[in-house]
Amino acid sequence: MNIIMKLDIITLRSDLHALEQRIRALKLPLRRPWTHPMGSVQAQLRHEADQATALCTLLAWSRGRLHRTNPPAPWRDAARDCGSTQPWDAVEHNRCVAARVAPRYTSSSAEPYPPAVAPAVGARTARS
């Protein structure tokens, strides 16, 4: 289930922390009585929360775990409204989300060796 690549975990965690801070800042005015329309703030909060969920999904997937094990509400509601009985695949959902977000946290130097330059079996490398 793991993604076969090295992730820049430091950048991933830093971005996740920054998202958490922005989410807290967006929630602050929503907790008080509204004095003006807050639709744009709610939309921005939803966008930030979706991004945080995607980053948490990537982090969990890189550890061989699933972040989201139940279907997202929009999927669940749409399936209910159209009478769909097709099961939701948690593994495939988490894989797709992780694959979508992963390129931002990998570099070309983190890719596995291409077959032409892979060290021979038993050959000593710099780390051996």
How far apart, in whole angstroms, are the C-alpha atoms of residue 56 and residue 67? 7
The structure's pTM equals 0.73
102 in any annotated domain: yes
Domain that holds residue 70: 1-31+41-76+89-107
Domain count, the chain: 1
pLDDT above 90 (res 3): no
83 in any annotated domain: no
What's the half-sphere exposure (Cβ side, CA atoms, 13 Å) at 25? 8
112 in any annotated domain: no
Task: For the beta carbon of residue 16, count every other beta carbon within 10 angstroms.
Answer: 17
SS3 content of the chain, % helix, strand, coil (to 5): 60, 0, 40
114 versus 14: the higher-pLDDT residue is 14
pLDDT above 90 (res 120): no
59 in any annotated domain: yes
Cα distances (angstroms) measured from residue 70 to each of 25, 67, 80, 87: 28, 9, 14, 11
69 in any annotated domain: yes
